[in-house]
A and B are shown apart, each in its own frame.
Chain A
Amino acid sequence: MTNDLLFEFNVDKAAQTVTIKREFDAELSLVWDAFTKAEILDQWWAPAPYISKTRYMDFEVGGRRFYAMITPEGQERWSVQKYTSITPKTNFKIFNAFSDENENLQLPGSDWDLNFSEENGTTIVNISVYNESFERMESLLEGFKLGFTATLKQLETMLATMSKK
């Protein structure tokens, strides 16, 4: 897939931090909404063939999003994201942790810092994820041991079709 949009993924093992930088061909307010509104988040948050299902989301400081990633077999993997800081259309921070279906947290979790900026109609999102333990990151991957290749192929075809229009 040819994609001119910037994508950087770096792992700083010393700082136990993953930083992700991505450019989007859309104005900031739209990208901000995509990250902060449940109905839009659920459309892209789960890497296909997983499905993201938000049970509820209060996007305010002290509020939380309680959601599940659902496998194609129907298995649910619940998580809680607590909003610890919000600066509208600029930045928000969350504390993210796995949980059971009753919102009981499975610690340790991770601290996320998301920054948004716009330049000439292009929005840049900078995310840093601090993990207390890398073992936690490994367990995160456990849930994603699926053949992504098939999915990506599917996506490529779809995007190629769309860009032809």
Chain B
Amino acid sequence: MRRDIFQAIADPTRRAIITLIALQSMTPNAIADNFNITRQAVSKHIRILTECDLVKQEQQGREIYYSLEIEKMKEIDKWLAQFRKIWETRFNQLDKVLLTIKKNKK
């Protein structure tokens, strides 16, 4: 099953993980140290993020490091920006319509 990227970032813990590894790549243990939940739970969140390509893993010696796929995050931003733009355009048009109605009333 392909994971829904929005579902992946719906969870506050996963968003916190994203924020952490956006600054530097981290090992699963280092990530888990920041949360009051079990390491298994943290691993599960990381797995979900990996499955939708938001997070990539890299082997360095005996450790695995996780880091953020910046390009994938940009995709989300771009998508939301488009959606925002529709409403912006729509409302700018409404401003114009309201102005016209107000003028005609006078």
Contact = CB atoms under 8 A, between A and B. Distances in A.
B99 interface: yes
Nearest to A5: B95
B21 interface: no
Contacts of A11: 80, 83
Contacts of A46: 90
A70 interface: no
B96 A158 contact: yes
A44 B97 contact: yes
Given A9-B87, A30-B101, A44 B9 contact: no
Contact of B96 (A22, A44, A144): A44
A62 interface: no
| Chain A: number of interface residues, binned into ranges | 35 or more
The 4 closest A-B pairs by CB, nearest first: A47-B89, A44-B93, A134-B6, A13-B10
A25 interface: yes
Interface in B16-37: none
Contacts, number: 89
A38 to B, nearest CB: 13
Majority secondary structure, B binding face:
helix
A48 B85 CA distance: 11
Contact of A155 (B87, B93, B101): B93
Nearest to A12: B10
Interface string A29-55: 011001000001001111110000000
A121 to B, nearest CB: 11
Interface size class of B (residues with CB under 8 A): 20 to 34
B106 interface: no
Interface string A41-82: 001111110000000000000000000000000000000000
B92 A159 contact: yes
Interface in B61-106: 79-80, 82-99, 101-102
Given A155-B89, A159-B92, 17 more contacts: A3-B92, A5-B95, A7-B91, A24-B98, A25-B98, A34-B101, A43-B97, A44-B96, A47-B85, A47-B86, A47-B89, A47-B93, A135-B4, A148-B85, A148-B89, A155-B92, A162-B99
Given A24-B98, A25-B95, A162-B96, A14 B12 contact: yes
A31 B84 CA distance: 20
Contacts of A34: 94, 97-98, 101
B86 A44 contact: no
B5 to A, nearest CB: 8
